[in-house]
Structure 1
Amino acid sequence: MWRATYPFSSHFFLFRGKRGDYLKGLHWDGSGLCLFAKRLERSKFVWPPIVEGSTTLTPAQLALLVEAMDWRRTIAPPAPPRPMLV
């Protein structure tokens, strides 16, 4: 059964960039629409399989996705080098 979801519900909507290195999230908190964004420097977000144009994530999958961890292996990517003053 298909169920409609709306931006003003309590759902969290995620969108990915074409290259897979950019993530945007929308959430209605009751007083306004919140936008969250994250871009990776050297890797790509690993998404669960998308069926028929959308997918539903568990809280654990969402946490791994936002942390840029591969949910299939649950191994954290190496930390990017920190900028140094010369």
Structure 2
Amino acid sequence: MIGPPKIRRVFLAAGATDMRKAINGLSVLVDQNLDLNPLSGDLFVFCNRRRDIIKILYWDENGFALWQKRLEEHKFTWPKDSLDAVKITTRELEWLLAGLDYRLAHQRLSYTHIS
């Protein structure tokens, strides 16, 4: 995926988004509904009601960029309606874009000593 040089964070806009919205409409949603800064360089991911289209909005140094993917079969795993954005990792985003359930991504384990 072509994207910003360094992805800081990835946020999913829970629930359904009207996919007729383009850059201006989605940036307003990020600012007003998600209460996040659309100019931050973070990725903001939106999904339609049928869960077969995803749009990703981000600020790329000198302007907004918008990326879209449509599945021909199957559905994206998507969080239900919520007032908050759901923060995921870039690895979970890769799973999501591959059509997998991002919630089943392996969690990082950390140990302090060997038993």
Please give the TM-score of this superposition, normalised by the length of structure 1.
Answer: 0.70
In the TM superposition, what is the alpha-carbon distance from 1:50 to its structure 2 partner? 6.4
In structure 2, the gaps of 5 or more residues are: 1-34, 106-115
Q: Which has the higher contact order (CA 8 A, sep 6+)?
A: 2
SS at match of 1:56: strand
- CA RMSD after TM alignment: 2.2
The amino acid of 1:58's aligned partner reads T
More helix by share: 2
In structure 1, the gaps of 5 or more residues are: 75-86
Count of aligned pairs: 72
User: Where does 1:29-44 land on structure 2 (aligned, <5 Å)?
Assistant: 29-44=60-75
Identity %: 35
In 2, the alpha carbon distance for the partners of 1:61 and 1:50 equals: 19
Segment of structure 1 superposing worse, 20-29 or 39-48: 39-48
The amino acid of 2:90's aligned partner reads P
The amino acid of 1:30's aligned partner reads E
Please give the TM-score of this superposition, normalised by the length of structure 2.
Answer: 0.54
Look up the match of 1:23. Answer: 54
In 2, the alpha carbon distance for the partners of 1:16 and 1:45 equals: 8
Do the aligned partners of 2:93 and 2:102 also contact (CA within 8 Å) in 1?
no
Look up the match of 1:11. Answer: 42
